[in-house]
Amino acid sequence: GQNIDQPTEMTATEGAIVQINCTYQTSGFNGLFWYQQHAGEAPTFLSYNVLDGLEEKGRFSSFLSRSKGYSYLLLKELQMKDSASYLCAVRDQSGGSYIPTFGRGTSLIVHP
Amino acid sequence: GAGVSQSPSNKVTEKGKDVELRCDPISGHTALYWYRQSLGQGLEFLIYFQGNSAPDKSGLPSDRFSAERTGGSVSTLTIQRTQQEDSAVYLCASSPNTRSYNEQFFGPGTRLTVL
């Protein structure tokens, strides 16, 4: 199985940059996902990394280092609407199951 | 509709009653997943389907939980003799398949409260 660790809560100022880290331990890494979940809503997909490096998509970027078991989600030019929980999920192909396992999520609070 | 739908959106039941939660995945998606999310907790994997078969039932918390999927489409999660610790949001997700790169598309969830 996987052991996924991310901070419980972070706060940041509107317009700033914030980095949310995720560390994991897995035997058969097959991709890492980031999802955004607003309170009372369903998670929505943000990014996917399977190779080392940075994937950029607008204000959001995601980085992966497989050798370090480490990823981060970078949010630039923060807006109030970015206040949400950010979920890191790792897919493990060992055992033939490709089901992503989710971390507990990082609650991001953006204040003016 | 184009997205994943779940019903009911809210369910309040008494301890010991059985409940059925329904999920309609995106048309054409062969993979369907059930998770539950308790307050302050991450998404806990329950079960997934590839077509109508469930290769991995390891996440079901007890034998009171069961799920089925018919016609490669609609899925039902049944909880028998509900307990208060079953109170959570039950989320369903679908994806085109499980193996290749695929994001999961989540439904809005069913909030279950067991009194």
Summarised one tens digit per residue, pLDDT across range A51-109 is: 999 999 999 999 999 999 999 999 999 999 999 999 999 988 776 667 888 999 999 99
How far is Cα A95 from Cα A78, in angstroms, rounded to an integer? 40
3-state SS track over B75-104: EEEEECCCCHHHCEEEEEEEECCCCCCCCC
What is the pLDDT at residue B100?
A: 60
B99: which chain A residues are within 8 Å (Cβ-Cβ)?
Answer: 98
The fraction of chain B above a pLDDT of 70, given in percent, is 95
For residue B26, is pLDDT > 60? yes
> Nearest chain B Cα to A87, which residue?
B42
Indicate the DSSP class of residue B3.
S
Q: Residue B94: list chain A partners with CB under 8 A.
A: none
Q: How far is A56 from chain B (nearest CA, A)?
A: 17
The pLDDT of residue A95 is 65
- Three-class SS state of A82: helix
Nearest CA in chain A to B38: A104
Angle at A41 between CA A37 and CA A44, to 5 degrees: 45
- The pLDDT tens digits of the residues spanning A11-57 come to 999 999 999 999 999 888 989 999 999 988 899 999 999 999 999 99
The first and second tokens of residue A5, run together, are 């660790």
| 3-class secondary structure, A80 | helix
pLDDT of residue B82: 97
Interface of A with B in 51-90 (CB under 8 A): 87, 89
Whole-angstrom CA distances from A52 to A27, A65, A102, A105, B44 are: 17, 5, 20, 22, 27
The residue among B61, B105, B51, B69 whose CA lies nearest residue B86 is B61
Question: For chain B, which residues lie within 8 Å of any Cβ of chain A, measuring from their own Cβ?
Answer: 4, 33, 35, 40-43, 45, 48, 55-56, 91, 98-99, 101, 103-109
Q: What number is the average pLDDT over the span B76-103?
A: 88
Alpha-carbon gap, residue A33 to A26, rounded angstroms = 14
Instruction: Test A45 with B107 for CB contact under 8 angstroms.
Output: no
B99 pLDDT band, cuts 50/70/90, is: low
* CB-CB neighbours of B53 under 10 Å: 9
Question: In chain A, which residue's Cα lies nearest the Cα of B101?
Answer: A31
Indicate the SS3 state at residue B69.
Answer: strand
CB B72 within 8 A of CB B30: yes
Residues of B in contact with A31 (CB under 8 A): 101
Residue B98: band (very low, low, confident or very high) from pLDDT cuts 50, 70, 90 = low
Q: What is the pLDDT of residue B101?
A: 59
**Per-residue pLDDT tens for B36-66?**
998 877 899 999 998 899 987 888 999 999 9
Are the CB atoms for B26 and B1 separated by under 8 Å?
Answer: no
In this prediction, residue B1 has a pLDDT band, given cuts at 50, 70 and 90, of: low
Nearest to B101 among A31, A97, A102 (CB): A31
Q: Does residue A31 belong to the interface with chain B, where contact is any CB pair within 8 Å?
A: yes
Q: What is the pLDDT of residue B57?
A: 83
